[in-house]
Structure 1
């Protein structure tokens, strides 16, 4: 369905968005300072207007239908844009000040976050961002960070988590390495090449084996706990490595080892504290990250 061609009642859209994010009518009512029956009526009216079922109700709670999940992607973007436009229009974004700490893996922090966060300098120049390159979820629970970008959903009940989609990864190598070692013609041929690994390269062996690449532990001639170092080793021509397609496809002198080799997918979760509901500086950074990362997921992956 072409959601963008349909006129929405914004109150109904806000009720749906809050319900999806809070997981219940009561949670949405609390956030919107409304009542549970009102939220239910607004979503019912939205479903009637769209002629689809958005939310399924059961004794176990609420779940989104496929149509509901599809609509959610669009209304989130609408909500984030509306918030930023409103703040810019009345000057509030210029008044938002303070530090926000964002944590992500070192490779994501170095290669992707600088571009994603660039619009923030114009929208809210008073916000100072500190980037913490780390993969530890404890950064949030111990309040070392305000926002985390992770590949797994947290199970702590006091955190807000949004799935932005799935990045895809594939096997890449430097062109000069493949010129020397030869380009594989089949998945089996890839196993004869040198490999560059990350923190635990053996974790890659099982999925590659299932994909027809019987790689061995001794194939990893270089490895590093740092994703940035591993990426630089690939660019320097040490061998083959599993890397995000959003990086590999854009890097000069780097190519996919086998053009039709299937991709691996890994989720991108944006995680923060409940303070998101009340802190304008965290909200504006969170929304900037959500838009920028979702755009990159859309370019290099199939959106979830």
Structure 2
């Protein structure tokens, strides 16, 4: 079809692609850290600029129109090209002053990284650290972040990764809650035990049931999309939840529930784009992060 000639707003393109990938305005807004009305206005502005309708509402989902389908691959190519230009420019920067963005899970961001930020502020005060808390696997090639801390090994060939070690995850509860429920074991009926889950709690339920715990959906009385909120509820004595040992060991007043149950291995990878790795300030932060985790006895 024939498109109107316009100057694209990159925020509108990102809003469009996020809606395509997530399937709804609300989910796309969460991914981009926007309010739903703001994202909706960006989509409406893009449609007005192009003179076409890009989405049709189908219940809670936003389905692409024919015009929207035609735009998807072009928009992805444009965003990738823009990101590549930014990567090349950033990779050649040898200044130790400027911003370096780090993304990691929300729990790691809240409980593990503050000491690192304090350290780097002393060692390299000209570097500005921007922390992006996300439980999603961020796309470094799209410049969502300069450095990512991930729990899975990246497969993209243009990424540089260093394994920092691994921690473990297990069920934890506050002393007072475990006192209250009598510290049950894996063979007991757990009908009266409350569990706290994240949005993907059904996967956790299946995994824990596979380890021999007698659980069903009724055990999950509280659900949160935030791992920090989940952990605060555990600390408040509201139930049990899965958390990594590195966080739990820094939290007074909690202990492992079902200590005989085999823990889950959680690898920790430090990742950046190979072009960014040649940037002096990004390389410095990458290396200092690796040193920081190497000194941490909660990682094997």
Instruction: Tell me the equivalent position of 2:130.
Output: 130
Instruction: Tell me the equivalent position of 2:224.
Output: 224
Instruction: Tell me the equivalent position of 2:274.
Output: 274
Instruction: Write out per-residue CA displacement over residues 68-100 of structure 1, whole angstroms, 9 at most, x where no aligned residue.
Output: xxxxxxxxxxxxxxxxxxxxxxxxx9x721100
Please say which of residues 97-106 and 153-162 is displaced more in the overlay: 153-162
- Extract unaligned runs of 5+ from structure 2: 1-93
Give the number of equivalent residue pairs.
206
Instruction: Tell me the equivalent position of 2:146.
Output: 146
C-alpha contact 1:152 1:267 (8 A) present in aligned 2: yes
Instruction: Tell me the equivalent position of 1:31.
Output: none
Distance 1:293 1:275, change over 3 A: same
| TM-score normalized with structure 2 length | 0.64
Instruction: Tell me the equivalent position of 2:287.
Output: 287
1:191: how far off? 3.3
Distance 1:137 1:256, change over 3 A: closer
Measure, in 2, the Cα distance between the counterparts of 1:260 and 1:249.
Answer: 18
C-alpha contact 1:170 1:242 (8 A) present in aligned 2: yes
Secondary structure, counterpart of 2:152 in structure 1: coil
Measure, in 1, the Cα distance between the counterparts of 2:254 and 2:138.
Answer: 35
Measure, in 2, the Cα distance between the counterparts of 1:167 and 1:183.
Answer: 24
Measure, in 2, the Cα distance between the counterparts of 1:161 and 1:256.
Answer: 31
Secondary structure, counterpart of 1:176 in structure 2: helix
C-alpha contact 1:119 1:288 (8 A) present in aligned 2: no
Secondary structure, counterpart of 1:300 in structure 2: coil
1:114: how far off? 0.7
Instruction: Tell me the equivalent position of 2:29.
Output: none
Instruction: Tell me the equivalent position of 1:189.
Output: 188
Secondary structure, counterpart of 2:162 in structure 1: strand
Measure, in 1, the Cα distance between the counterparts of 2:217 and 2:295.
Answer: 36
Instruction: Tell me the equivalent position of 2:238.
Output: 238
C-alpha contact 2:195 2:220 (8 A) present in aligned 1: yes
1:300: how far off? 2.6
1:51-200 matches, within 5 Å, as 96-184=96-184, 186-189=185-188, 191-192=190-191, 193-200=193-200
C-alpha contact 1:104 1:148 (8 A) present in aligned 2: yes
1:190: how far off? 7.2
Instruction: Tell me the equivalent position of 1:300.
Output: 298
Measure, in 2, the Cα distance between the counterparts of 1:187 and 1:219.
Answer: 14
| TM-score normalized with structure 1 length | 0.63
Instruction: Tell me the equivalent position of 2:84.
Output: none
Task: Identify the structure with the greater helix proportion.
Answer: 1
C-alpha contact 1:168 1:244 (8 A) present in aligned 2: yes
Measure, in 2, the Cα distance between the counterparts of 1:119 and 1:210.
Answer: 42
Instruction: Tell me the equivalent position of 1:84.
Output: none
- Extract unaligned runs of 5+ from structure 1: 1-92
C-alpha contact 1:188 1:212 (8 A) present in aligned 2: yes
Measure, in 2, the Cα distance between the counterparts of 1:267 and 1:151.
Answer: 5
Measure, in 2, the Cα distance between the counterparts of 1:107 and 1:207.
Answer: 21
C-alpha contact 2:173 2:235 (8 A) present in aligned 1: yes
Measure, in 2, the Cα distance between the counterparts of 1:295 and 1:169.
Answer: 20
Measure, in 1, the Cα distance between the counterparts of 2:233 and 2:214.
Answer: 22
